[in-house]
Amino acid sequence: MKKLMEKDIATLREEIIAYRKEIFNVRLSALVGQMKDTSQFKKIRKQIARLKTAITIKESSVGH
């Protein structure tokens, strides 16, 4: 979490977009049947949640 807090909000948002694209690709590979590591869904969703939390903390600290 410390590494995420060092980044600016724009970078965090770009990373969220990248992870959303990645989860889309993982879903497609799961539909086709090429997916071997099913835990990727959970890992990517958790990382997106971490990024969103970091953005929320940064936005609330800027206001105070």
User: Which sequence spans correspond to the domains of the chain?
Assistant: 2-63
**Domain formed by 2-63, architecture:** Orthogonal Bundle (1.10)
pLDDT of 17 higher than 90: yes
pLDDT at residue number 63? 64
30-51 pLDDT, tens digit each: 888 887 788 888 999 999 999 9
If you average pLDDT over every residue of the chain, what do you get? Answer: 89
Tell me which residue has tokens 């969103």.
Answer: 52
- The 10 Å CB-count burial string (b at 16+, else e) for 8-18 is eeeebeebbee
pLDDT at residue number 32? 86
Stated pTM of the model: 0.84
DSSP codes joined into one string, 4-48: HHHS-HHHHHHHHHHHHHHHHHHHHHHHHT----TTHHHHHHHHH
pLDDT of 24 higher than 90: yes
Q: 1 is written with which tokens?
A: 């979490």
Widest pairwise Cα distance in the chain: 49
